[in-house]
A and B are shown apart, each in its own frame.
Chain A
Amino acid sequence: MMAIKRDVFYELKKHGTNAERKINKKIQDSLNKKEIIELASLYSNQIAPQIKRNQDNIEMLSVALNFPTKRDIANIAKMTVQLEEKLDKLDETLATLFQKNPQINMANPTTSPSERRKRLIKILQTYLSSGNNANETGKFKW
C-alpha cells in the first residue's frame, strides 16, 4: 500500500473538506423545503408584473424622448441573426451547386475563370427559372 504523506496541510485539507461537506449539507437541508421555493415563486410572480410595467413605461418614454431601449437593440440583433441565416442558406445552396457541378468550382484548376463564370451563370439561370426556389411573389427564396 502506498504510504500517504501526512502533514499539517494534509490534515487541514482533510478536516476542512469534511467540515465543508457537513456545513453544506446543513445549508442544503435547511433550504430544501417546499415553503421556501413556493415563497420565492410567489415573490417573483408579484414583482414580475411591476418590472414589466416599468419596462413598458420606459418604452413609452423612449418614444417621446427619442432614445433607444434594450428592446430596440434586441430587435436589431435579431435582424442580424436573420441576415446570417439567409447568408448561411445562400452558402449552403452554393456549396450544393459546387458539389453537383465541380466544373464551376473555383478550386477546380481544370477550367478557366471565364468558362467557370459562363457555366455558373447558366446553372444559376436554370436553377432560378425552375421555380423550386421562388416564393408566391416570384422573388427568389433563399
Chain B
Amino acid sequence: MVKRKTDPKKSSKLQSFLDIKNQEMPEMMMTPRIAVWKKNKATLWHYPAKKKRYNIPILIIYSIINRPYIFDLGPGNSLIGAFGKEGYDIYLLDFGIPGYEDGNISIDEYILDYIQKGVQRVLRHSGAKEISLLGSCIGGTLAAIYAAIAEEPIRNLILTVAPIDFEQVPQFDQWSEAMREGKVSFDEILDVFQIVPANAVKSGLRLMTSPVYISPLLSLLYRADDEEYVKWWRRFNAWTNDYIPLTSGAVKQMTHDLIIDNKLIKGTLKIRGKKAKLNRIKANLLVIASQNDRLVPNAMISPIMGAVSSPDKTLHLLESGHAQMLYDDTLPAYYKEWLPERSGSISQ
C-alpha cells in the first residue's frame, strides 16, 4: 500500500475547521449595560463609558430586520466596546422581537413612539443638552426620517449603509417596477398574517443578496487556524442567521412610501401627518457607504448628501461589504477622525 504524504499545515487547517463544531460558542454581548427604559418589546440600553471624555452621548438605532448585537458581538469584536474605550457614553435602542400583537406597528410608530421617546429618555438620563444619532441599515433610514421631524437637539447624525433613495434597487428591478405599476400587492396577506416570520425575512434577504451562501464557509476554512478569526466568524455567523419578524404595518409603509413612491428623497414623506423633509436636517452629517455592498449600494445612500441642509457633511466610502469586521475593539478611523471634535470634549 502506498502511503500518501500530507502537508502538515493543510491537515492542521482542515483539522481545525472540522473541530470548530465541537468547540464552545465564544461569548457574545459582554459589554456591561443597564436597561434605562422599556416599552413593549423595546429596550433602551446604556453602555457607560469606561472614562467619560465627551458630553454628547451616542444613541445607536439599528435595523428592524436583524438583532442589534452586531454592535457588541464579543470581546475584541465590539463597536460599542470601542466607543466606550474612547470615552463615549453609548445608548442602544433595541426594538426587540415583534409578535402577532405588534402587527400594526408601522414606521410612524417606530419613529414617534420608540425613537423620539428613546431620544428624550437618553437626554434625560444622560443630562446632556445634545445627542449624536448613529443609524445603521434600515435603522439609518429611520434615524434620517426622525432627524427630519425632530424637535430634540441632534448635534451629529451618522448613517452607515442606510438606504435613502429607493429609485434604483440593486436586485429584482422587474419586481419593484411591477410594484410601481400597481400590478402587485401583498397588503391583504400581510393584514392576515400581521407579521412576516423571521424565516421568511431571512429567505427574502438571502434571495436579494446571496441565494447560494457557501463563501463564508470557504473563508472560514481558509482561516481555520486563526483563532481570533474563527471566534469572530462564529459570532458573526450567529448574528447573520438571527433575523427577526417584520411587522405588517412596517412592511406595508416601507413598500408604499419608500419603495413604490420613494417619498423620503422626494420630500413628500409624512409621519403621522408631519412632513419629514430631509432639508430640515441641519445636524453634522457623516454618511458611510460600502463599495461592495450588494444589499445597499452607494447609489441608494449618497443622494442624502444633496438633500440635507447640514453645512458640515462628509461621505465616507469603505471597501467592505454591508457589514464591517471589527477585530480588536479599536474604533475605526472614520469615527476617530470625525467624531471627537463634534462631541463636546469634557476637557475643553
Contact = CB atoms under 8 A, between A and B. Distances in A.
A20 B124 contact: no
A5 B189 CA distance: 52
Interface string A41-70: 100110111011001000000000000001
Contacts of B101: 73-75, 77-78
A32 B188 contact: no
A23 interface: yes
Given A37-B175, A77-B101, A78-B101, A27 B211 contact: yes
A9 B10 contact: yes
Contact of A33 (B174, B193, B213, B224): B174
A13 B225 CA distance: 15
Chain A interface residue count: which class?
Answer: 35 or more
B274 to A, nearest CB: 19
A122 B221 CA distance: 71
Nearest to A8: B10
Given A12-B222, A20-B215, A38-B178, A88 B183 contact: no
B138 to A, nearest CB: 21
A10 B222 contact: yes
Contacts of A70: 100
Interface in B172-209: 172-175, 177-179, 183-186, 188-189, 191-194, 207
B348 interface: no
B100 A41 contact: no
Given A9-B10, A37-B175, A45 B188 contact: yes
B215 to A, nearest CB: 4
Contact of B192 (A40, A48, A78): A48
B268 interface: no
A17 interface: yes
Chain B interface residue count: which class?
Answer: 35 or more
B241 interface: no
A34 interface: yes
Contact of A27 (B103, B188, B212): B212
A28 interface: yes
Interface in B94-136: 99-103, 113, 117, 120, 124
Contacts of A28: 171-172, 207, 211
Contacts of A36: 175
A81 interface: yes
B192 A55 contact: yes
B1 interface: no
Contact of A13 (B113, B171, B173, B219): B219
A48 B101 CA distance: 18
A83 B53 CA distance: 38
A49 B191 CA distance: 10
B39 interface: yes
A136 interface: no
Contacts of A41: 183-186
Nearest to B102: A77
A48 B218 CA distance: 41
A12 B218 contact: yes
21 contacts: A9-B224, A13-B219, A13-B222, A17-B218, A20-B213, A20-B215, A23-B211, A27-B207, A32-B175, A33-B174, A34-B177, A36-B175, A37-B174, A38-B183, A41-B183, A45-B188, A47-B189, A75-B101, A85-B39, A85-B113, A88-B39
Interface of B: 9-10, 13, 38-40, 99-103, 113, 117, 120, 124, 171-175, 177-179, 183-186, 188-189, 191-194, 207, 210-215, 218-219, 221-222, 224
Given A32-B171, A51-B189, 12 more contacts: A7-B10, A9-B222, A12-B218, A13-B215, A17-B215, A20-B214, A34-B183, A37-B174, A37-B178, A38-B178, A45-B189, A84-B38
